[in-house]
Amino acid sequence: MALIVHKYGGTSMGSVERIRNVARRVATWRAAGHRMVVVPSAMAGETNRLIALAREIQPQPDPRELDMICATGEQVSVGLLAMALKSIGVDAVSYSGWQVPVRTDSAYTKARIVTIDDARVRADLDAGRVVVIAGFQGVDELGNITTLGRGGSDTSAVAIAAALDAEECLIYTDVDGVYTTDPRIVPEARRLDRVTFEEMLEMASLGSKVLQIRAVEFAGKYRVKTRVLSSLTPPDIPVEIEAKSGTLITFEEDTEMEKAVISGIAFNRDESKITITRVPDRPGIASQILGAIADANIDVDMIIQNQSIEGTTDFSFTVQTNDLQRAIEVLNARVRESIGAREIIGDPKIAKVSVVGIGMRSHVGVASLMFRTLAEEGINIQMISTSEIKISVVIEDKYLELAVRALHKAFGLDRPAAGAG
């Protein structure tokens, strides 16, 4: 009898009928002898509705109060789901984050989980109950309600699975797994049976928005077996079959099969490029620029600095488009004059495309194939960055779909790879 965590996203919880289906699915797993913890999101659209409501009162909502408001979405979900379970004869109990408690730091709207107390949950499980815990929320040291950032209930589920040492965390969503790329762009995209957590981390951070990135980090750090699968299948599908569906996030040493060199093509349209022109080429400049950005709590992704000509150079980096305006303001206020740069230019019309695969560690020629493919399509590369298992380029955003399609084909992802996929 294994301890299993199920997580259901907003679409899966989107109506009374769907919540009943979730209850039936949980009941099927319970009947197969498993100890069940369920972590739902708010009903589809609810968090957006709550944020919009808050903004009507305060255009820049106070973060503490915003978390207070947003946390109600998941609170409704857990109550409804526990009721749906009881109404089909499954003993269940619901908890909000603070009741467990799921302890976080105090960074409202993007809090991080610090610890999860498992005592109360274990006692319920021992008593034979299904425990339904609100995703996305926690409580700080002072008892303030916090939330983990949009999509945060994925992280809640994986963290709860880690804290309880669960056998597996199943993330039910409206897609049936992780694909080689977004099927809306490339209809030939295929579902991956397995993907390593490192690849998943690259794909999640690069915009394949199946799982919140922190959830993947948690899965990697605490070695939580995590599976992404569909909640749109019949709720009474046999557990043995369902347990093998979707995409399993694994660890490299578990992937004994011959994997394709590249697992997927990820992309992100939500970044913008900032270029600071005529930056003096001397020690400390990058640290001043990026230090000011970090102080403003803005994440930086790709960074490039060219070789200097006559002692100055251009320095470019990318940030989330949401942060573009603020980043430019910070740089103008704090950095431009003090380092003597000429100009700060923001460009939101960019997109990032990446090829991802652990096979890159043992194969050469990935970069050259990528660049050749883009060149053949006449796509100019503005920035390049690489890691051990990923190569990313920044291109003009209007070429994004073309680039993704061409790369998907060039790396052979359109056809099933031997032994994998």
Q: 51 φ, ψ to 5°? A: -65, -40
Q: Which stretch binds Mg ion (CB under 5 A): 8-16, 31-39, 174-182, 401-409?
A: 8-16
Of 150-158, 175-183, 313-321, 372-380, which part binds ligand ASP (CB under 6 A)?
A: 150-158
Per CB under 5 A, the segment of 150-158, 184-192, 193-201, 401-409 that binds Mg ion is 150-158
* Residue 259 backbone phi and psi in degrees, to 5: -90, 155
Q: Does position 264 bind Mg ion by CB under 5 A?
A: no
Query: Does the protein bind ligand ASP through residue 138 (CB under 6 A)?
Result: no
- Total interface residues for ligand ASP by CB under 6 A: 12
If binding is defined by CB under 6 A, does position 231 make contact with ligand ASP?
no
**Sheet architecture: strand order including 168-173:** 92-95, 130-133, 35-40, 3-8, 168-173, 226-230, 247-250, 194-196
**Token representation of residue 100:** 């467990």
> Would you count residue 73 as binding ligand ASP (CB under 6 A)?
yes
The 154-173 contact track toward ligand ASP, x by CB under 6 A, reads: x-------------------
Neighbours of 39 (CB within 10 A): 29
Q: Show the site string, 41-60: x = touches ligand ASP by CB under 6 A, - = not.
A: xx----x-------------
Stretch near ligand ASP under the rule CB under 6 A, chosen from 144-152, 167-175, 189-197, 198-206: 144-152
In Å, the largest CA–CA distance within the chain is 77
152 near ligand ASP (CB under 6 A):
yes
**Cβ atoms < 10 Å from Cβ of 47:** 24
Q: Which partner, ligand ASP, Mg ion, none, binds residue 61 by CB below 5 to 8 Å per kind?
A: none
- Sheet with strand 145-147: strands edge to edge: 113-116, 102-104, 137-139, 145-147
Question: Rounded to an integer, what distance in angstroms lies between the CA atom of residue 194 and that of residue 227?
Answer: 9
Distance CA 67, CA 76 (A): 15
Q: Which residues bind Mg ion (CB under 5 A)?
A: 9, 151
Q: Which residues bind ligand ASP (CB under 6 A)?
A: 10, 41-42, 47, 73, 135-136, 150-154
